[in-house]
């Protein structure tokens, strides 16, 4: 069945019903007549309900939309994509770097040198004006303080991995007699510091450091200490970036409780608590410690270089007083559950959240609506809208009819609706290329998806260009890999997988799959059969579901499909990796850090690498990208990672769509100048296409006003 034929078979009765339904929906004028409160409500339509309203636990866009109104982060980005303070008024970034004295290395001009001699050498080099390499000179200039940490002995434990052991691994007790260490305090992060210092200390000073000689185990622990333990316990050198946030005073949570540094530390600890199964762990694993310096100062130290560090603190901050251990224990007792096993994931907070964002939670009726009310004590001033409401309307045609009538103010405009809505003079519209992509993921833990030839063949059997033309009405373009297409991290040199059904059959034959007498592909007497799933309510994904099924059946694959409600789809199938293949989309940020989605350590329950992609070379590149502060090198690593993922085809990369947002022209930005005069301005999107950036200043008027932009 061709794409055109699939689209033709939309049920006529459904369209007739939806058109008829328009006539009983009250118009905007009818709604506001005698009810000026409607002007103070912003109502948006969503095809799916939220799953959990907790920013450290959720991973879906429906939940994030609400969370962005209820919670506030320490920072976010301004219209020009520069970081700006939110709960934090300012911040500082510097570094503490350490290296052990190599007691067996020959240092030029010193021979075998003590800690005092090494510190003196670095101090003297700092004072030299000439004759130094430019890179070394810059690194030395960046050093604000040099100090010596004396030798110390301590005991640490690691798991002793025993082959064929079924019980818990034994603990390996290790005594460490660490040599002296040099501590360097830096004004800013310097990833090349130790590379440059080798020009003073000798090329092999760090490479020849043998940490193993300082480690000893108890007599009963036989065998050598694994190399990874040595490098972890006693590395030759260590970068420890430091991030200090200064918080705004007198900010309140929606229940009146004052926000402070303890809430920031608590949010971090909650993410890292394994009981909570937070999908954000990967973002915060590089953190070594979070210290409350005082109620308005937080000091965060990182274990290693981590270039995305600052951006991660845009996450919504949780209220410690409502979710700490004592609060959860009381809730568990009240609910008749075991306080020792009760976790934040089970808390009623996730259905009735409290943050310090511009709107506070009001009501949630599953699969009907989520209502928020303006928070009048919001630190930046109250929003113009009194209420923010998300209505769950799974059908996009119903959404369009309600939008025309004014019962909703915005919704996810579908590609086939764009042309007529953009042509209507009553509306203002915004559009751009999405920061993300739609894909078909394969569960690589299951056969036959563990074979890259099968995955590539599945991609080759689908005509993606036809999907873009007839499902998206041209509102999209091909994508070949995991990075945002508008950034330079995206490798434009990689060609899309071609539409080639015959080539797909050849690959499948090479993988051992041949047609039987009934035309179905089989291997060792077993048919090539699996299920493709996606969420109900998304007509684009539903169309792709039918198209992919038809394409695969044409080459002899027995594919069944299933549509699931959003919450069931996410919680029961995606989070538990209980699927063969699925259709989903990623909404991405502009940063190139893909650790959560593609690193092999992120394949567990509620983690985001639910396809189960594992590749050592890709893992190494992902780590390099995270630890690289040089943009050009990040781009180089990103292009290599893109190439690997495109070759392995853990998913069929389909398309990046163009987004279009439509609003009534009477929705404008209201500003009040220093003299108290009111001005109205046109809504303008940011560089990333975020047209809701100034949402708290939006207002809907009875009549279209004269705009400042028109003067």
Express each pLDDT in 105-132 by its tens digit.
999 989 999 999 999 999 999 988 677 8
Q: Each residue of 133-179: pLDDT tens digit?
A: 889 999 999 999 999 999 999 998 887 654 444 445 567 888 999 99
Q: Which residues sit opposite 668 in a β-bridge?
A: 699
Domain architecture of the chain: domains with CATH? 93-242 (no CATH), 436-659 (3.10.105.10)
Q: Which residues 6+ apart lie within 8 Å of 297 measured at CB?
A: 244, 245, 246, 247, 261
Cis omega (within 30 of 0) on the bond before 228?
A: no
Instruction: Give the pLDDT confidence score for residue 708 in this predicted structure.
Output: 63
Instruction: Give the pLDDT confidence score for residue 394 in this predicted structure.
Output: 87
Q: Which residues sit opposite 626 in a β-bridge?
A: none
Q: Quick check: 711 pLDDT over 60?
A: no
Q: Hunting for tokens 């991609």 — which residue is that?
A: 459
Q: How far apart are the first and last CA of the chain?
A: 55
Instruction: Give the pLDDT confidence score for residue 396 in this predicted structure.
Output: 83
User: For residues 613 and 449, what is the distance between their CA atoms, to the nearest angstrom?
Assistant: 11
DSSP label at 574?
I
Among 486, 482, 406, smallest CA distance to 659 is for 486
Instruction: Give the pLDDT confidence score for residue 688 in this predicted structure.
Output: 80
- 208-212, 330-334, 489-493: which has the minimum mean pLDDT? 208-212
The first and second tokens of residue 100, run together, are 């052990």
* Helix (H) and strand (E) counts in the chain: 23, 30
Judge contact between 13 and 395, C-beta under 8 A. no
User: For residues 555 and 3, what is the distance between their CA atoms, to the nearest angstrom?
Assistant: 16
Instruction: Give the pLDDT confidence score for residue 329 in this predicted structure.
Output: 96
Entry pTM: 0.80
The share of the chain scoring above pLDDT 90, in percent, equals: 72
Instruction: Give the pLDDT confidence score for residue 60 in this predicted structure.
Output: 86
User: For residues 38 and 405, what is the distance between their CA atoms, to the nearest angstrom?
Assistant: 13
Among 383, 387, 245, smallest CA distance to 314 is for 245
β-pairing, 526-527 vs 521-523, is antiparallel
CA dihedral (178, 184, 186, 192) positive or negative: negative
**The dihedral formed by the CA atoms of 244, 245, 250 and 252, expressed in degrees to the nearest 10:** -120
Instruction: Give the pLDDT confidence score for residue 705 in this predicted structure.
Output: 73
Instruction: Give the pLDDT confidence score for residue 160 in this predicted structure.
Output: 63
Q: Each residue of 340-397: pLDDT tens digit?
A: 999 999 999 999 999 999 999 999 999 999 999 999 999 999 999 999 999 999 888 8
Instruction: Give the pLDDT confidence score for residue 166 in this predicted structure.
Output: 43
Instruction: Give the pLDDT confidence score for residue 152 in this predicted structure.
Output: 93
Determine whether 358 is exposed, middle or buried from the number of CB atoms within 10 Å of its CB (0-12, 13-18, 19+). buried
Q: Hunting for tokens 């989520």 — which residue is that?
A: 370
At 1, is the pLDDT very low, low, confident or very high (cuts 50, 70, 90)? very low
Among 615, 621, 660, 612, smallest CA distance to 639 is for 621
At 23, is the pLDDT very low, low, confident or very high (cuts 50, 70, 90)? very low
User: For residues 396 and 385, what is the distance between their CA atoms, to the nearest angstrom?
Assistant: 25
User: For residues 393 and 411, what is the distance between their CA atoms, to the nearest angstrom?
Assistant: 9
At 591, is the pLDDT very low, low, confident or very high (cuts 50, 70, 90)? confident
Q: Which residue has the higher pLDDT, 47 or 318?
A: 318
Among 424, 498, 508, 495, smallest CA distance to 465 is for 498
Instruction: Give the pLDDT confidence score for residue 11 in this predicted structure.
Output: 35
Top mean pLDDT of 156-165, 406-415, 473-482 is at: 473-482
Q: Each residue of 516-562: pLDDT tens digit?
A: 999 999 999 999 999 999 998 788 999 999 999 999 999 999 999 99
Instruction: Give the pLDDT confidence score for residue 27 in this predicted structure.
Output: 52
**The dihedral formed by the CA atoms of 30, 32, 33 and 36, expressed in degrees to the nearest 10:** 170
Q: Each residue of 280-299: pLDDT tens digit?
A: 998 999 999 999 999 999 99
User: For residues 490 and 485, what is the distance between their CA atoms, to the nearest angstrom?
Assistant: 5
User: For residues 549 and 571, what is the distance between their CA atoms, to the nearest angstrom?
Assistant: 24
Instruction: Give the pLDDT confidence score for residue 144 in this predicted structure.
Output: 96
Instruction: Give the pLDDT confidence score for residue 426 in this predicted structure.
Output: 87
């Amino acid at each position: 069945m061709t794409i055109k034929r699939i689209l033709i078979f939309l049920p006529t009765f459904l369209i007739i019903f939806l058109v008829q339904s328009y006539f009983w929906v009250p118009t905007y004028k009818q709604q506001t007549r005698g009810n000026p409160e409607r002007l103070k409500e912003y109502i948006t339509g969503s095809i799916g309900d939220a799953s959990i309203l907790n920013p450290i636990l959720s991973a879906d866009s429906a939940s994030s939309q609400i969370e962005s109104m209820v919670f506030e982060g320490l920072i976010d980005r301004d219209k020009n994509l520069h970081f700006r303070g939110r709960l934090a008024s300012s911040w500082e970034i510097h570094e503490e770097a350490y290296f052990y004295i190599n007691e067996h290395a020959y240092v030029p001009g010193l021979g075998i040198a003590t800690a005092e001699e090494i510190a003196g050498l670095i101090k003297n080099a700092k004072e030299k004006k000439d004759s130094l390499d430019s890179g070394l000179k810059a690194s030395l200039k960046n050093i604000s303080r040099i100090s010596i940490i004396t030798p110390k002995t301590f005991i640490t434990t690691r798991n002793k991995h025993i082959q064929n052991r079924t019980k818990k691994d034994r603990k390996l007790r290790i005594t460490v007699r660490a040599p002296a260490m040099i501590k360097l305090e830096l004004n800013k992060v310097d990833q090349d510091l130790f590379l440059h210092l080798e020009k003073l200390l000798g090329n092999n000073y760090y490479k020849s450091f043998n940490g193993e000689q300082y480690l000893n185990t108890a007599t009963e622990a036989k065998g050598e200490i694994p190399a990874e333990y040595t490098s972890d316990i006693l590395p030759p050198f260590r970068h420890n970036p430091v991030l200090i946030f200064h918080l705004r005073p007198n900010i309140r949570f929606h229940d009146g409780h004052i926000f402070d540094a303890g809430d920031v530390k608590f949010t971090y600890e909650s993410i890292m608590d394994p009981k909570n199964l937070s999908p954000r762990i990967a973002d915060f694993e590089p953190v070594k410690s979070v210290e409350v310096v005082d109620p308005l100062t937080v000091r965060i130290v990182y274990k290693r270089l981590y270039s995305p560090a600052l951006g991660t603190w845009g996450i919504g901050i949780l209220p410690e007083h409502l979710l700490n251990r004592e609060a959860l224990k009381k809730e568990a007792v009240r609910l008749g559950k075991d306080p020792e096993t009760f976790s934040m994931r089970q808390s009623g907070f996730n259905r009735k959240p409290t943050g310090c964002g511009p709107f506070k939670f009001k009501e949630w009726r599953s699969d009907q609506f989520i209502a928020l009310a303006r928070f009048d004590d919001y630190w930046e001033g109250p929003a113009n809208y009194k209420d923010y409401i998300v209505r769950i309307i799974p059908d996009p045609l119903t959404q369009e009819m309600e939008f025309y009538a004014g019962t909703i103010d915005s919704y996810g405009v579908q590609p086939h609706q764009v042309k007529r809505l953009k042509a209507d003079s009553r509306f203002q519209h915004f559009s751009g290329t999405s920061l993300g992509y739609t894909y078909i993921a394969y569960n690589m833990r299951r056969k036959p998806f563990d074979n890259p030839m099968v995955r590539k063949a599945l991609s080759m059997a689908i005509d993606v260009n036809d999907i873009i033309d007839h499902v998206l009405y041209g509102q999209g373009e091909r994508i070949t890999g995991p990075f945002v297409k508008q950034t330079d991290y995206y490798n434009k040199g990689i060609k899309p997988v071609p539409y080639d059904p015959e080539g797909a059959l050849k690959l499948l034959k090479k993988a051992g799959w041949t047609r039987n007498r009934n035309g179905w592909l089989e291997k060792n007497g077993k048919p090539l059969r699996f299920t493709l799933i996606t969420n109900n309510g998304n007509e684009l994904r539903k169309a792709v579901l039918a198209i992919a099924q038809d394409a695969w059946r044409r080459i002899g694959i027995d594919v069944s499909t299933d549509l699931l409600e959003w919450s069931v789809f996410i919680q029961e199938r995606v989070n538990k990796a209980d699927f063969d293949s699925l259709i989903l989309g990623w909404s991405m940020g502009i940063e190139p850090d893909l650790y959560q989605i593609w690193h092999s350590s992120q394949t567990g329950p509620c983690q985001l690498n639910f396809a189960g992609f594992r590749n050592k070379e890709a893992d190494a590149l992902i780590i390099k990208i995270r630890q690289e502060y040089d943009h050009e090198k990040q781009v180089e690593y990103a292009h290599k990672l893109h190439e690997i993922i495109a070759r392995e085809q853990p998913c069929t990369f389909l398309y990046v769509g163009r987004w279009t947002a439509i609003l009534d022209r009477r929705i404008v930005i209201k500003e009040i100048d220093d003299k108290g005069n009111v001005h109205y301005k046109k809504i303008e999107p940011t560089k990333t296409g975020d047209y809701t950036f100034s949402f708290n200043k939006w207002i809907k008027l009875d009549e279209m006003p004269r705009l400042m932009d028109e003067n």
